[in-house]
Structure 1
Amino acid sequence: MTEGAEQASAPQEPGTRDFAAILSPIPSPRFLTALCALNKVDARILSTSGGPVAVLTDTDEEAVAKAAKTVSAFVARAEFMLVVNRGGQATAQIWLGGQVAKDVPAGLALNDAPGVLTTLVTGAQSFDEIAATHPDKVHEATMSRFAAYRELLKETRRLRKEQG
């Protein structure tokens, strides 16, 4: 085996794998799942005590920015938080209406975040490890665009009804 192949198959140290997630202010994981599917945002949704989190599959800088722009533009008046860890350096941004509204210190942004999010951002556990122990909390954004549109309408009506 070549040296490069050995390095590629070796497990990464916690905190060194790239990670990106969008925290949603909308309390419905089904809404966020449908929103990601409709807009072709490649993500897996995790239900947490602080609301749903879209864990992005593609952590490339350009793909992450496009996902945050797309999701935040869809619900223009809601603030979404983008949390990224690249090579052990965590950053956080607030996105509003498809644009970065402000950068926030990652430590402060994660201070009140659910523990599972901190676990993911720091790389202490991978998404697959968490999904294996909490399969009922994971939603895949793999539905068709038509099904996603119908689900968004249904969830929007439900959320409006709950708000009165």
Structure 2
Amino acid sequence: MSEDDLGGVDVPDDLSGLEAARPPSVAVVVTQVAVADALAAACSLAKVDVDVVPSPVGALAVLRDAAAGTAAAGAVSRLLRQVPVVLLERREGTISASQWIGGEHQKDLPAGLVLSGAPPVLEDLLLGELPAGEVEGVVSSVGLSRWKAMRLLASHRR
């Protein structure tokens, strides 16, 4: 079939570029918040459904809906104001990383460098080898009332 037969449309030999990007299968927001329940309370107030896992580098918010990663990273970084957060997403075997501050995407980061000093639990969560609900000390933002979330945050500000 010639180009004229297709009305002047050029069809590439490799159609993979025409495929829509698939949503991520896992999304994790890495923060410097030290306490998992404080981050879960903040996420609850921001209406972000996560399971928060404690780690030595800060609490890790594992999104219940991985496709909402950018919205969640924006919401969490808005709450934490000038403290940067990192969004890690696994999509079709590839991990991407981006930095967020004050609700805005700042820059993309090399995922390998971000993960080079990360605790093993983060890698296990990203690779899907460990469900967030099975990590010791996990706290969910789902079902946390606004009143309880405010009390949790107030108790950690003292």
| TM-score of the aligned structures, taking structure 1 as reference length | 0.76
Residue 42 of structure 2 corresponds to residue 41 of structure 1: no
Offset of residue 114 of structure 1: 0.5
Note if contact 1:22-1:81 (Cα within 8 Å) is conserved in structure 2: yes
* Residue 108 (structure 1) aligns with: 113
CA drift at 1:24: 0.9
CA distance in 2 between counterparts of 1:118 and 1:87 reads 15
- Measured on the aligned residues, the alpha-carbon RMSD in Å equals 1.4
Q: What's the offset of the Cα at 1:23?
A: 0.8
1:85, CA displacement in angstroms? 0.3
Distance 2:124 2:55 in 1: 12
Q: Which amino acid aligns with 1:53?
A: L
* Aligned 1:113-152 pairs, distance under 5 A: 113-128=118-133, 131=134, 134-135=135-136, 137-141=137-141, 142-152=143-153
Larger radius of gyration: 2
Amino acid across the alignment from 2:37: R
How many percent identity over aligned positions?
Answer: 34
1:13 corresponds in structure 2 to: none
Counterparts of 2:27 and 2:87 in 1: how far apart (Å)?
7
CA deviations 1:38-86 (Å, max 9, x no partner) are 11100001011222100000011xx211111111001111011110001
Structure 1 distance, partners of 2:107, 2:66, is 20
Partners of 1:36 and 1:151 in 2: CA distance: 12
* Ranges in structure 2 where 5+ consecutive residues have no aligned partner: 1-23
Given that 1:31 and 1:156 are in contact with CA atoms closer than 8 Å, whether structure 2 keeps it comes out as no
CA distance in 1, matches of 2:99, 2:156: 24
Contact 1:30 1:155 in 2 (8 A): no
| Aligned CA distance change for structure 1 residues 26 and 125 (closer, same or farther; 3 Å) | closer
Cα distance in 2 between the residues matched to 1:88 and 1:32: 28
Map 1:12-51; keep pairs closer than 5 Å.
18-51=25-58
Deviations 1:77-129 (A, max 9, x none): 1011110001111000111000111110111101101101111212333334x
Runs of 4+ aligned residues of structure 1 deviating over 6 Å after TM superposition are none
Structure with greater helix share of residues: 1
Distance change in 2, residues 1:37/1:111 (3 Å): same
Q: Aligned ranges for residues 24-103 of structure 1 at < 5 Å?
A: 24-60=31-67, 63-103=68-108
